[in-house]
Amino acid sequence: MINSLQDKVKLANGVEIPGFGLGVFQVPDHETKDAVKEAILNGYRLIDTAQIYGNEKGTGLGIQEGLVAANLKREDLFVTSKVWNDHLSYDETIKAFEQSLADLGLDYLDLYLIHWPGHDAYKESWKAMEYLYQSGKIKAIGVSNFQVHHLEKLLSFATVKPVLNQIELHPKLTQNELREFCQKHQIAIQAWSPLMQGQILTNPTIQSIAEQHGRSVAQIVLRWGIQQDILVVSKSVKPERIKSNAQLFDFQLSDEDMKTISALNEDLRVGPNPDQFNFVM
């Protein structure tokens, strides 16, 4: 388990990834710079964006300013982006990647993901990802929103295996079967919408655990993820929340707390079901 915001976990290809980071989904481009900079200044070392978020330029500016303000180097930061559903041909994936890199103002990415599996449309895209990985432009490649059956197909033809699957995961959607499969295949799990986009924060069971610990509900939910060795990306644009959401390493949830929170699972999604979402190809 990670014990600080800078602690990293080794992915299957040897690349180290910080266990907790800032995501910028639904952050307008002009607000992204400040959120990213604030996060870096508060000790975050992982920033998660995607081409479809339309804020890679703002993310890039935030990275630039944050690194200078915190006196850090590019290698100190882990940056993820994702290729969107309508760019899953070989050539489009390469083009989308180059555009993301240009917009971010970076010369490599730490992690690049296929954002959604579509109707198994990822074969050509994965070949392009392998090419980009082998040419050194990406340190690690992975997927997002892949179910077991998508992963089985991908693993049947991949020369370079995905090292990470970024999925919706929170106390109402614990994803046990997918996690088991990924663990068996050395694919790290990274949770998106860990706070259920804010909806989990009014849950009375978690509120009561938060009161017992003298912590915010968000901290309890995020700690629940970290304490199970799940990588987590959470979003806030508010400086005080960016700061407090990362204060996860000076308290511990008991086994009973962990069980109580996990028992809230209802296989309930706040985002789309990957088997139904946006089949453009």
Q: Does 238 bind ligand NDP (CB under 6 A)?
A: yes
Contact yes or no for 64/36 (Cβ under 8 A): no
> How near is the Cβ of 117 to ligand NDP at its closest, in Å?
11
The CA distance from 126 to 104, in Å, is 22
Q: Which listed range, 56-64, 123-131, 207-215, 237-245, lies at the site for ligand NDP (CB under 6 A)?
A: 237-245
Query: Closest CB to ligand NDP among 99 and 244?
Result: 244
Kindly name the residue from 44, 53, 122, 133 that is annotated as catalytic. 53
96 lines the binding site for ligand NDP (CB under 6 A) = no
**Least CB distance from residue 170 to ligand NDP, whole Å?**
7
In the complex, the smallest distance separating the C-beta of residue 271 from ligand NDP, rounded to whole angstroms, is: 5
Contact set for ligand NDP, span 17-46 (CB under 6 A): 23-25
Q: In the range 167-196, which residues lie near ligand NDP by CB under 6 A?
A: 192-196
| Structural contact between residues 190 and 230, judged by C-beta atoms closer than 8 angstroms | yes
Quick check: 257 binds ligand NDP (CB under 6 A)?
no
Our finding on whether 85 is near ligand NDP (CB under 6 A) is: no
The nearer residue to ligand NDP, 18 or 194, going by C-beta atoms, is: 194
Please identify, using beta-carbon distances, which residue of 84 and 181 lies nearer to ligand NDP.
Answer: 84
264 makes contact with ligand NDP (CB under 6 A): no
Binding residues with ligand NDP: total (CB under 6 A)? 28
Minimum gap (Å) between residue 165 Cβ and ligand NDP: 10
The CA distance from 44 to 209, in Å, is 26
Reported residue count of the chain is 281
Q: Taking contact as CB under 6 A, which single stretch among the options 12-20, 93-101, 126-134, 228-236 is the one that binds ligand NDP?
A: 228-236
What type of residue is 276? Q
User: CB of 237: closest distance to ligand NDP in angstroms?
Assistant: 4
Residues 6+ apart with CB under 8 A from 161: 12, 155, 185, 186, 187
Is 53 noted as a catalytic residue in this protein? yes
Q: Is 236 in the site for ligand NDP (CB under 6 A)?
A: yes
Rounded CA separation 265/28 (Å): 31
Report the nearest approach of ligand NDP to the CB of residue 240 (Å). Answer: 8
Q: What is the contact surface with ligand NDP in residues (CB under 6 A)?
A: 23-25, 48, 115, 144-145, 166, 192-198, 201, 216, 218, 233-238, 241, 244-245, 271
List active site positions.
53
